[in-house]
Structure 1
Amino acid sequence: MNAPAIGPLPTELLSHPAYRRVFKPGRLTFGFIMPLEGYPTSPFPTLEGHARLAKIADEAGFSALWMRDVPFYDPGFGDTGQMLDPFVYLGFLAGQTSKIALGTAGIVATLRDPLVVAKQAVSVDHLTDGRLLLGLSTGDRPVEYPAFNLDYENRGDRYREAFELIRTVTETSFPTAQTEFYGTLRGDIDLVPKPVHGRMPMLVVGRARQEMNWIAGHSDAWLWHLSDFRQLPDLLATWRASHVDTWLRPYGYGAFFDLAENPNEPLRYTGNGLRAGRNALIALLAHQQSQGVSHVAFNLKPLRRPAADALAELAEYVLPQFPAE
């Protein structure tokens, strides 16, 4: 099988604990989108035992826990994610875990002030000794924008500017910057502290209304959503071709997932997610590893069995095939 061709990674990412745990040249890893529970018939999770389950995932050796940014409950959308503010939750999980990467998938950059996001993210980076992966999105819920008195149509432009401003203030001392949608930096103030390892990995989540070559040239990885797997080879070929005079970034995706109790149950699509027994899951991930997928983030919302049972089965049978450690 052909190994995923990513890299050559910059030195600061090769030594970054969260990045090297999740994105491994030649290997696929998988983690989870929070919360760690099934709630298939409700938009609201219970969050029952969520700290205990996060510790189980950490101690088992899974690669990452990902937080979503859902400021409001939209009945038309029908999913509230983990309900808790992602940065507050990250601070809490910093004290509950010790090695698992903590990521955002993603912070809605176009609904937040980028300088505040930068301060929050670097704070989490320090509290976790570099276990944060900062994923940024534009959001997919138009109904939220009027509440913030923000323009939905120019979110792509504001996303690019916010992304670059966060990178500037986290990586440059006393930076200067003139922005169209945000503020002005004149070199007389500095954001402190800086990232623990010199660079905080920044990921594009979704397409963020950007051309693929922009994502390839500015991000440290690209996380998309579940799509037709038959189109995956063409998507990855286009992704690789988008990297001109730069290193090849990892590609991963998120998907709703229900682990069947029958280990031999075949893989099938269920709405906008997947259901499979562990053997079909292993076969799928092995095949996608050979195609060039670097990471899969499973959302257990449709799970029909206790999350602790599913985590135990995945840790025993699937994780050894795709280790993060």
Structure 2
Amino acid sequence: MRFLYHYPETTGTERDMLDVGSLREVATTAERSGFDGFCLSEHPVPSARWLANGGHQSLDPFVALGYVAAATERLRLHTNLAVAPYRNPFLLAKSAATLDKLSGGRLVLGLGTGYLKSEFFALGVDMAERNALFDEALDVLPLHWSGEPFSYRGRHFEAREVIALPRPVQNPVPIWIGGNSKLTRRRVAERAQGWMPLIGPPELSATARTPAIGSLAQLADMIKEVRDAARAAGRTDPIEVQYSYRDAALAAPTSEAEADRHREALSEIEKAGVTTVLVSSPTAEPTATLEFIEAFGATYLQTSHRTPLRR
């Protein structure tokens, strides 16, 4: 099982998110501490009301991960997640291909349909079309990355005998899709390389406009369903599954027994079929963020058996 570190996000409007510390230092510390990947989310223009009620700021994930790519050597670079309907799919494909090319093939393109109505309004995108626009992106991305001429007519554009070069390093760039709905799971089984479910109470899922997954047992059944559907569709490549693991005492256990409790929990998560665990820290200051990363690495990553990083 592999581990990702999610760059800390600042809630509210009173403090700029770069107060969490230097992006370069956080990324290089995560790599040195044994993390396999590094991720950022996306909110290009959230409402002030949403931020004031617990919403989070974010850096542009493609720009920031390009910076991380230059500062690191092996970290996988995850968008967790980019909102596909916000962009023309050709611009999304070009950003992804560029990041994959410049990083030597380290991108994992995490995508979602989006859920913030105010952000759709601000960007001039019809939220009612988000699923149709998402499927257009899934069509266009592999065509764009192929390096071959193609044509495609979408709802709001028409590409006639276009070609996109350079190609990304990976073929394909892994696409992981976020969300819990039946439609999301079907997309993963048929068209993606990974699934990013949202685990939490019903109120969390209501905010993100996706059905709730309330238990590890329920998730395990869904993982099996997705992988069975992928095999039925003729897929032979593995379907990765991400799990977000949160606990206030995660990186500072009060005893070895407490650390063992977390190790056992992570073991159960792996048995459920999860391949990647996302770890985030509730830290707002540079020193605390770096201490969290180093403590987590020393406690859970550098002393346990690790699955080699898949490329």
TM superposition score normalised by structure 1: 0.78
Read off the aligned partner of 2:221 and give its amino acid letter: D
Gaps of 5+ in 1: 1-27, 267-276
Task: Give the one of 92, 95, 115 matched to 2:90.
Answer: 115
Read off the aligned partner of 2:160 and give its amino acid letter: R
1:187-222 Cα deviation digits (max 9, x unpaired): 2x3111101133211111224782522321100111
How many residue pairs match? The answer is 284
| Same amino acid, percent of matched pairs | 23
Q: Equivalent residue for 2:253? A: 262
SS in 1 for 2:71: coil
Q: Equivalent residue for 1:312? A: 294
**Contact 2:6 2:278 (C-alpha < 8 Å) held by counterparts:** yes
Name the CA shift for 1:311/1:292 in 2 (closer, same or farther; >3 Å).
same
Q: Are residues 1:213 and 2:186 paired?
A: yes
Task: Give the one of 57, 79, 86 matched to 2:30.
Answer: 57
Q: Equivalent residue for 2:81? A: 106
Task: Give the one of 246, 250, 253 matched to 2:243.
Answer: 253
Gaps of 5+ in 2: 201-213
Q: CA deviation at 1:263?
A: 3.9
Q: Equivalent residue for 2:210? A: none
Name the CA shift for 1:39/1:150 in 2 (closer, same or farther; >3 Å).
closer
The equivalences for 1:19-58 within 5 A come to: 28-35=1-8, 45=17, 46-58=19-31
Higher relative contact order (CA 8 A, sep 6+): 1
Task: Give the one of 252, 261, 282 matched to 2:263.
Answer: 282
Q: Equivalent residue for 2:160? A: 186
**Contact 1:61 1:324 (C-alpha < 8 Å) held by counterparts:** no
**Contact 2:11 2:55 (C-alpha < 8 Å) held by counterparts:** no
SS in 2 for 1:143: helix
Specify which structure has the higher proportion of helix. 2
Query: Which deviates further from its counterpart, 230-239 or 137-146?
Result: 230-239
RMSD (Å) for aligned C-alpha atoms: 2.7
Name the CA shift for 1:113/1:165 in 2 (closer, same or farther; >3 Å).
same
The equivalences for 1:147-186 within 5 A come to: 147-179=122-154, 181-186=155-160
Q: Are residues 1:136 and 2:117 paired?
A: no
SS in 1 for 2:128: coil
Q: Give distance in 2, aligned partners of 1:322 and 1:255.
A: 19
Q: Equivalent residue for 1:323? A: 306
Q: Give distance in 2, aligned partners of 1:43 and 1:298.
A: 22
Q: CA deviation at 1:324?
A: 5.2
Q: Are residues 1:231 and 2:218 paired?
A: yes
Q: Give distance in 2, aligned partners of 1:194 and 1:111.
A: 23
Q: Give distance in 2, aligned partners of 1:264 and 1:316.
A: 14
Read off the aligned partner of 2:56 and give its amino acid letter: T
**Contact 2:177 2:196 (C-alpha < 8 Å) held by counterparts:** yes
Q: Give distance in 2, aligned partners of 1:108 and 1:168.
A: 19
**Contact 1:61 1:100 (C-alpha < 8 Å) held by counterparts:** no
Read off the aligned partner of 2:118 and give its amino acid letter: V
SS in 2 for 1:106: strand
SS in 1 for 2:115: coil
Q: Give distance in 2, aligned partners of 1:70 and 1:301.
A: 19
SS in 2 for 1:121: helix
